[in-house]
Amino acid sequence: MKKMFLVLAIIASAMATSAQKKLPIALNVGATVQFPITSSVNTKNPSYGESLRAIYQPKTKLGYTLSTSYLQNKGNVQIPVLAGVRTQLVKNVYVGAEAGVSFYTGVRSQFTYSPYVTAEFGRVSVTQNFLSTVSPNLGKSISSVGLVLSYRL
């Protein structure tokens, strides 16, 4: 857990340094909770963790995202690494979708996708997401609904 915080701090400082060059890149760090909506042996309890999302938002309504999270659930760890796009619906409200892979403890990486809605209030944002991992080993997907409270550096 301490290593994850250290990695997040290093990435945050690197992004903050590049942000001083007036690039349209925002970096959000926050807390995440995911509630399972499929029945699976490993997903009966909520997962908690940290999230990091880099957002490249040029002067258009379309933006590009790169995100990762560290989610822990009773000894099981999931680390989704996702890239995607987002668009502005109305002022300070965005909708987006990301896709990538999730890394698990003791399991091969799995394809993961996540549509989401974000509301921004100054530097604070609240994101409601749907995180689904397609598991060919189980023959179905493992899905959860989550809430992310984050702060833009």
Q: Are 113 and 128 in contact (CB under 8 A)?
A: no
CATH number for position 127 = 2.40.160.20
Q: Is the pLDDT of residue 135 over 90?
A: no
**Residue 37: left (phi > 0), alpha (psi -120 to 50), or beta?**
alpha
Considering the entire predicted model, what is its pTM? Answer: 0.79
* Domain boundaries, position 87: 2-152
CA angle centred on 98, ends 94 and 101, rounded to 5°: 155
**Averaged pLDDT score across all residues of the chain:** 83
- Nearest in space to 116 (alpha carbons), one of 151, 146, 78, 79: 146
Q: At 106, list the tokens.
A: 């003791």
Whole-number pLDDT of residue 87: 94
Q: Is the pLDDT of residue 124 over 90?
A: yes
C-alpha 5, offset from chain centre: 15
User: Per residue in 67-93, pLDDT tens?
Assistant: 999 999 887 888 999 999 999 999 999
Whole-number pLDDT of residue 52: 93
Q: Give the count of domains, the chain.
A: 1
Cα Rg of the chain (Å, integer): 15
Q: Is the pLDDT of residue 129 over 60?
A: yes
Indicate the pairing of strand 76-90 with strand 62-73.
Answer: antiparallel
Of 65 and 12, more confident: 65
